[in-house]
Amino acid sequence: MTFFEARNVNLYFGSFHVLRDVSFEFGKGDVLVVCGPSGSGKSTLIRSINRLAGPLASGSMSIQGCDLKSLPRRDLYRRIGMVFQRFNLFQHLTVLENIALPQRRVLGRSRREAADRARALLDRVGLVDKAETYPVRLSGGQQQRVAICRTLAMEPELLLFDEPTSALDPEMVGEVLQVMRGLASGGMTMIVVTHEMGFARELGTEILFMEQGQVVERAPPVDFFASPREARTRAFLDQILHH
Amino acid sequence: MIFSLVYDAAALILSGMPIVIVLIVSAFFPALALGVVGGLMGSSNSRVLRFIAAIYVYIFRSVPFLMFIFLIYYGLPYYNIDIGPVSTAIIALSLSHGAYMTEIIRGGLLGFDKGQNEAAIALGFTLTQRLRDIVLPPTLMATIPSLLGQAILMVKDTSLVSVVGISELTRLGREVVIRTNEPFVVFTIVAAAYFVLCFGLELVARRLEARVRRIMSRQ
Amino acid sequence: MFTTAYDLFWQYRDVYLRGLANALTAAALGLVLSLCVGVLAGIVRFSSRGIAGRIIGIYVSVVRNTPMLVQVYFIYFGLPALGITLSAFATGVVALTFNSGAYIAEITRGGLAAIPQGQTEAAMALGLNQRVLLARVLVPQAAPTVLPAITGQFVQLIKDTSLLYTIAVLEITKAADDVGNETYQFLEAYLVSCVIYVVICAVLNLLVDQYERRAGFSRHRRV
């Protein structure tokens, strides 16, 4: 069974047709990279997966055969995690609390267990010494790595990344991509909306190019970059790779 | 001679201080609770809830407090509720200032970072959890100075509860003036008493504000 | 209860309307006078480093940290002690002026203080004296922030007139009290007054919003 499937998804903001007949699927452990110009609907697409956008006008999406629309809230958010462009760490909590509190509240883990897991995750990304710091003191790259830990602590089956490096200064993009690289090679199933074509080429299993709400082209990185079929894809690649 | 007058007058007037403090403390927290509920309603996605909150705020901002305390004083017996002047005063103060606190908290909530709220949703927090752990703590911290400002206004409104028969500072002062015919001395004492209360609250507010600013910016 | 209230209103409408007229008059007079006092005080406080500014500072502080009722009583009992006898209504207007003046002074001062220091520096560099600086540079720029707050003050004044009840001025609250005393239907009598306040405030808010729309600013929006 395919791990995740989207069939003929349509979504409107008022009368504006944001997602037009979007379809795709991928398997467990895959990394689906979604790219396209701004306004193409790529953010809306992944946000509609965890109900931050929507509801869908028509079409359906399912994970492991379960229709997302009928999935109870708790299960949906437990199985699918999200990393945001602006990190969205809780400013009034320490780094450790950011990662531990959701575990306690949503998963019911004990204080000790949540803290231990949090520290372990921080250690993996090299930030364990920042555990008692407040987010505002951290750099963008550090905050994003903490944000990734926060959502990993919930042990999701699928991770959604909404332009995770777009709000970062260039010198910090690398450290975040490094963490994502580790996750991908570790077998995490991911959908990544990004402009980072290097990442796409290296770790993507498939690339989805969207424009104006439609899926224009879908291909594995090799084919996507070497011989794009559509003219629009070529135009986009020219712009993004050669400016 | 004048000293003993001042002393006696002050003693009598200040005997009204405890009741004022009781009123403030008893009314502040219900008002705050109303403010939180109202503020949440006023910033919710439901048009109905927003409307109700708006009406609540509008009515209490249009009707003077004196009027309102009369309304409650005469209104409750109508429904056969008999609770005495102090409780009446506390209810009036809570409801009235709750409306102002609603506006303060609503403003704070509207300014809250939407992104953090979304992150909380995406992590699976329920609405109550989001409010309790993520949204309200920073919002309340940020609005504390304004909320304490409201407490200062509450102190001033206690002067009006004398109309329902409570012997607080102002009423006692008025009685002393009528007896001694020394309005300047007496009302200066009364004014000083209020000044101390209000200024005291303002100092507390400033200290809390400094602490909040330090918290928000360990940072 | 509500039908009784309406009947009561109709029966005693001249009492209520007289109270309303008095309240509006007192508030209007209070606004005009407190504007004169307050704007001047605010300007003085802003530009004076000496004793005048300090005194006004104390005045504002006292008014803000003491209940208005105490101020009303102070004036009501104090003026006769100084040999000045005024009607209750006049005393009320004085009290409203005294109170509102302090708030307007603070609003004016705040508006002036919010103007960037650079304006003052430029004016001084150009050789403009203090008076010209104030009149032509600062006050006009403070106006957009100050005027909306002042209109809010007028609505506040209407509410403040209720305090004049305590010195036996026939305003809206006292009207209710009188009607109540005569008919023993206090709740209904007060309900009528309550409605009058809400309606008046609504009308005033509407008028003020209209005026602000014409004038191009809003007290709901930060300039």
Give pLDDT tens digits for B74-88.
888 878 788 888 999
Interchain CB contact of A95 with B (< 8 Å): no
List Cβ<8 Å contacts ≥24 apart for B40-45. Answer: B40/B105, B40/B109, B40/B131, B41/B102, B42/B102, B42/B103, B42/B106, B42/B109, B43/B106, B43/B109, B43/B110
Of residues A16, A80, B182, B129, the one with CA closest to residue A72? A80
Average pLDDT rounded to a whole number, residues C110-135? 81
Q: Find chain B residues with C-beta within 8 A of C187's C-beta.
A: 71, 74-75, 78
On whether the CB atoms of residues C21 and C169 are closer than 8 A, the answer is: no
| Nearest-CB residue to C190 (from B71, B152, B160) | B71
Q: How confident is the model at residue C223 (pLDDT cuts 50, 70, 90)?
A: very low
Q: Express each pLDDT in A59-98 by its tens digit.
A: 999 998 889 889 998 899 999 999 999 999 999 999 999 9
Q: What are the structural domains, with CATH classification, of chain B?
A: 2-216 (1.10.3720.10)
The identity of residue A16, as a single letter, is F
Q: Domain map of chain A by residue range?
A: 4-38+48-241
List Cβ<8 Å contacts ≥24 apart for C79-82. Answer: C81/B181, C81/B183, C81/B184
Q: How confident is the model at residue B154 (pLDDT cuts 50, 70, 90)?
A: very high
Instruction: Report d(CA C153, CA C32) in Å as an integer.
Output: 11
On whether the CB atoms of residues B161 and B151 are closer than 8 A, the answer is: no
For B161, the closest chain C residue by CA position comes to C69
Average pLDDT rounded to a whole number, residues C146-168? 86
Please indicate whether chains C and A are in contact, defined as at least 3 beta carbon pairs under 8 Å.
no
B78–C165 C-beta distance less than 8 A: no
Q: What is residue A147's predicted lDDT score, i.e. its pLDDT? A: 96
Subunits with at least 3 CB pairs below 8 A relative to chain C? B
Interchain CB contact of C194 with B (< 8 Å): yes
Of the listed ranges A121-130, B173-182, C132-141, C153-162, the one predicted with least confidence = C132-141
Residue B42, Ramachandran bin (φ over 0: left; ψ between -120 and 50: alpha; else beta):
alpha
B119–A82 C-beta distance less than 8 A: yes
If you average pLDDT over every residue of chain B, what do you get?
88
> Parallel, antiparallel, or unpaired for β A214-219 and A206-211?
antiparallel
B124–A77 C-beta distance less than 8 A: yes
Burial of C159 (0-12, 13-18, 19+ CB in 10 A): buried
Give the C-alpha distances (Å, rounded to integers) separating B172 from B187, C149, C163. 10, 35, 17
Burial of C93 (0-12, 13-18, 19+ CB in 10 A): buried
Q: What is residue B1's predicted lDDT score, i.e. its pLDDT? A: 55
Copy the structure tokens of residue C129.
């004296």
What is the number of alpha carbons within 13 Å of residue A118 lying toward its C-beta?
25
Interchain CB contact of B111 with C (< 8 Å): no
Q: What is residue C80's predicted lDDT score, i.e. its pLDDT? A: 85
Q: Express each pLDDT in A183-222 by its tens digit.
A: 999 999 999 999 888 888 888 899 999 988 899 889 898 8
Q: How confident is the model at residue A161 (pLDDT cuts 50, 70, 90)?
A: very high
Q: Express each pLDDT in C30-84 by its tens digit.
A: 999 999 999 889 888 888 888 888 999 999 989 988 999 999 999 998 888 888 8
Instruction: Report d(CA C32, CA A167) in Å as an integer.
Output: 54
Q: What is residue C50's predicted lDDT score, i.e. its pLDDT? A: 86
C166–B187 C-beta distance less than 8 A: no
Interchain CB contact of C90 with B (< 8 Å): no
What is the number of alpha carbons within 13 Å of residue C131 lying toward its C-beta?
0
Copy the structure tokens of residue C96.
């409203």
Interchain CB contact of B177 with C (< 8 Å): yes
Within 10 A of A220 (CB to CB), how many other CB atoms are there?
11
pLDDT at B117 over 90: yes
Q: What is residue C1's predicted lDDT score, i.e. its pLDDT? A: 67
Of the two residues B160 and C6, the one the predictor is more confident about is: B160
Instruction: Report d(CA B185, CA B177) in Å as an integer.
Output: 9
Q: Express each pLDDT in B49-107 by its tens digit.
A: 999 999 999 999 889 999 999 888 888 887 878 888 899 999 999 999 999 999 999 99
Q: How confident is the model at residue A223 (pLDDT cuts 50, 70, 90)?
A: confident
Average pLDDT rounded to a whole number, residues C188-205? 88
Measured in whole angstroms, how far is the alpha carbon of residue A231 from the centre of its chain?
27
Q: What is residue B2's predicted lDDT score, i.e. its pLDDT? A: 66
Residues contacting residue C121 through CB under 8 Å, at least 6 positions apart: none
Q: What is residue C150's predicted lDDT score, i.e. its pLDDT? A: 79
Average pLDDT rounded to a whole number, residues B199-209? 88
The rounded percent of chain C whose pLDDT value lies above 90 is: 28
Q: What is residue C91's predicted lDDT score, i.e. its pLDDT? A: 92
Instruction: Report d(CA C4, CA C12) in Å as an integer.
Output: 12
On whether the CB atoms of residues C193 and C178 are closer than 8 A, the answer is: no
**CATH of span A4-38+48-241:** 3.40.50.300
Instruction: List, edge to edge, every strand of the sheet that includes A58-63.
Output: A16-26, A4-13, A58-63, A66-67
Within 10 A of C131 (CB to CB), how many other CB atoms are there?
9
Q: How confident is the model at residue C126 (pLDDT cuts 50, 70, 90)?
A: confident
The rounded percent of chain A whose pLDDT value lies above 90 is: 63
Q: Find chain B residues with C-beta within 8 A of A52's C-beta.
A: 118, 121-122
Q: What is residue C217's predicted lDDT score, i.e. its pLDDT? A: 58
Of the two residues C73 and C147, the one the predictor is more confident about is: C73
Residues written for chain B: 219
Of the two residues C207 and A134, the one the predictor is more confident about is: A134
Q: What are the structural domains, with CATH classification, of chain C?
A: 2-215 (1.10.3720.10)
Q: What is residue A37's predicted lDDT score, i.e. its pLDDT? A: 87
Within 10 A of C117 (CB to CB), how many other CB atoms are there?
8
